[in-house]
Structure 1
């Protein structure tokens, strides 16, 4: 009864709508992340090597230490904030704890691996290009899974709220 007297059903509905809008925004971020990757490289090791190591024949300079450091500095903070927000939202879903742990771990590990991949190609060995590709794919898949889990849960909660209000 308190739920209806205090108006919590409206606040929860509004919160649900705001979270869904946020997730739509993050979905656009996810798409643009993929587009940026494929604008610079593709899923071949040669394209990754070219991007990070450059090519004298094609007049492509290698990525500089300073440039990579600036990108890493921004990515480490922003990806950390994005992942902690998405995993926090996922924790409030009804999915199993096992799924939550695995999906959270996969997302954090793949984000760090994706960032490290470029550094490893540039400064350790060109064969880390395969690692970079795998890390990118894992990051995109784990972010997509996180988004799907949370969006599904939010839509399900929204439908339940409508059912409760109608019933």
Structure 2
């Protein structure tokens, strides 16, 4: 069909109207499984790098001025969530219904490691308090 030309412009050729089906089709799910070799490569890299990151962060966490139970809980949470996140792709490969495990374990790992990093960083930069309550003196013997 041809639209009427505007007073000062050309006529536009418009295509036919798009006809929609009466009932919408159900969505199609596309599932592409990662090859075992690729999954093994990714796991191999993460199996060595993530524990090193957790180890360094755990040492900084243990130096923070926190109760012992919080030290233990933080390190345990970091180790468990990191291990679960590394294992999640293999668990999902054998049980696709567990696909929600990947984002859940990722968020849990982010929260535990993020909290450890933020608390450790803040604790490093806060001045230490002496036993009497005032800030510890700075070392002037420079």
Matched, 1:86 2:57: yes
Matches within 5 A, 1:107-118: 107-118=78-89
Q: 1:70 to 1:145 in 2, by over 3 A?
A: same
1:84-132 alpha-carbon deviations (Å, 9 max, x no partner): 100011111111111111111011100110111111111x211211222
8 Å CA contact 2:78, 2:109 repeated in 1 = yes
Structure 1 residue corresponding to 2:113, chosen from 139, 143, 146:
143
CA distance in 2, matches of 1:166, 1:143: 33
Corresponding residue SS for 1:127: helix
The Cα RMSD (Å) is 2.5
CA distance in 2, matches of 1:164, 1:77: 42
SS at match of 2:57: helix
Q: Which has the higher contact order (CA 8 A, sep 6+)?
A: 1
Q: 4+ residue runs of structure 1 moved beyond 3 angstroms?
A: 157-160
TM-score (norm 1): 0.58
Question: How far apart, in 1, do the equivalents of 2:114 and 2:123 lie?
Answer: 14
Mapped pair 1:106 → 2:84:
no
Distance 1:65 1:158, change over 3 A: farther
Unaligned runs of 5+ in 1: 1-49, 56-60
